[in-house]
Amino acid sequence: MTLVDNNLRIIVLDRGWVYIGYLTETEKESVLEKASCIRRWGTRRGLGELALEGKKENTVLDKCGTVIFSKKNEIHSIVCDSSKWLTYYE
C-alpha cells in the first residue's frame, strides 16, 4: 500500500454516518475537509476495500465540503491509500 497522504480517512460516526475526506484534529474536535458522505459503499468487502482500492463503479459519494465533528462521536477511522483516490480528488 502506498500512502501518499495519510490524512485521507474514512470516518465512521455514530448514528451510521460515514464520510471520506482529509482529516485534521484539535483537542476536542475533528475537521474533515473536501469531505463526501459515503451514501453507498458499492463494495463486496466493505469500507476497507474502498480505503485500499478507491471508489468503485457502484460507490455513491455526496460532496459536502467541510464536516466538523466531536471526537466523542467518532466510532473509528480508516487510513486510505490516497494514490487510489487521486482521480476523485483532482
Q: How far apart are the first and last CA of the chain?
A: 20
Parent domain of 71: 8-85
Q: Could you identify the residue written with the cell 484534529? A: 25
pTM here is: 0.90
Residue 2 maps to a domain: no
Strands 18-25 and 8-13: antiparallel
1 falls within a domain: no
- Rounded Cα gap, residues 32 and 11, in angstroms: 9
Residue 66 lies in a domain: yes
Query: Which pLDDT score, from 0 to 100, does residue 89 have?
Result: 85
User: Residues 36-69: pLDDT tens digits?
Assistant: 999 999 999 999 999 999 999 999 999 999 999 9
Candidates 27, 47, 23; CA nearest to 35 is 23
d(CA 12, CA 37): 10
The tally of domains found in the chain comes to 1
Determine which helix (DSSP H) or strand (DSSP E) holds 51, and give its type and residue range. Answer: helix 47-53
CATH code where residue 65 lies: 2.30.30.100
